[in-house]
Amino acid sequence: MINSPYLRSVALKREEVPAFTHYPFNLPSIRSLNHLPFHPKVTYLIGENGMGKSTLLEAIAVSLGFNPEGGSFNFNFSTFDSHSELTNYLKLIKGIKKPKDGFFLRAESFYNVASNIEELDQGGGGPKIISSFGGQSLHEQSHGEAFFSTFIHRFGGNGIYILDEPEAALSPLRQMSMVTRIHDLVNQHSQLIIATHSPIIMSYPDSLIYELSEDGIQEKKLEETNHFQIMKQFLNDPKRMLHHLLES
């Protein structure tokens, strides 16, 4: 196990923020952000759409040196420069050890990462990048297969892994397999920070869950999260839930 995290915490340099009236600083989660500690193993950022979890996660990833669209530390491409200015106002408090590996995986731009791998592999000699992703073109796999192949083959341990809504392409069974993979990576001295809507993925026990809402950022237990409670209500009595949803 890692004795100390690669990333201990993040702080907002509030005195440098020009104004809290425009995006992304007007988001409640960012407006209330002071100092956010991370679990040495797994930290989750959860919340409804528009609460800023992906914005905060992206800013953390870019501050760590990742490409805004994803990939490893070595990826340096841009198909559309859309990341927010938040990264310029964050202060990262890092641990003693430096990660030997790292990857920023985001569902919305994973296609661009796969395309960049193919372009680089066609450009010259040397080992193919795709070899570290399992050897098969990511474009020749389903979205879910490409995601899971990346988790299994590319994430080598001793690293920091930033994941933005990885459940987007994964079936419930694959999501449970991902929890197993998270445990493998933790045992290989890794730290993960994950933005997710999935109660399955956020169930890893040795972790911190931060829920972003109109009230700011609050630490929650799995069973206290809206995601878990709503899913539980639906599965416990789907007919009753559907009755309420569909009644005119």
State how many domains the chain has.
Answer: 1
Q: Is residue 2 part of a domain?
A: no
pLDDT of residue 1: 43
Q: What is the pLDDT of residues 43-61, one digit of tens each?
A: 999 999 999 999 999 999 9
Q: Is residue 67 part of a domain?
A: yes
pLDDT of residue 82: 57
Q: What is the pLDDT of residues 140-163, one digit of tens each?
A: 777 778 878 888 888 989 999 999
Q: Is residue 1 part of a domain?
A: no
| H/E run at residue 247 | none
Domain that holds residue 157: 7-246
Provide the 10 A C-beta neighbour count for residue 55: 22
Query: Which letter does DSSP use for residue 189 in this model?
Result: T
Provide the 10 A C-beta neighbour count for residue 103: 22
Q: What is the CATH number of the domain that holds 133?
A: 3.40.50
Q: How far apart are CA 160 and CA 104, in angstroms?
A: 9
> What SS3 state is found at 165?
coil
Q: What percent of the chain has pLDDT over 90?
A: 67
Q: Which comes out higher in pLDDT, residue 106 or 109?
A: 106
Side by side, the strands of the sheet bearing 7-12 are: 35-37, 7-12, 90-94
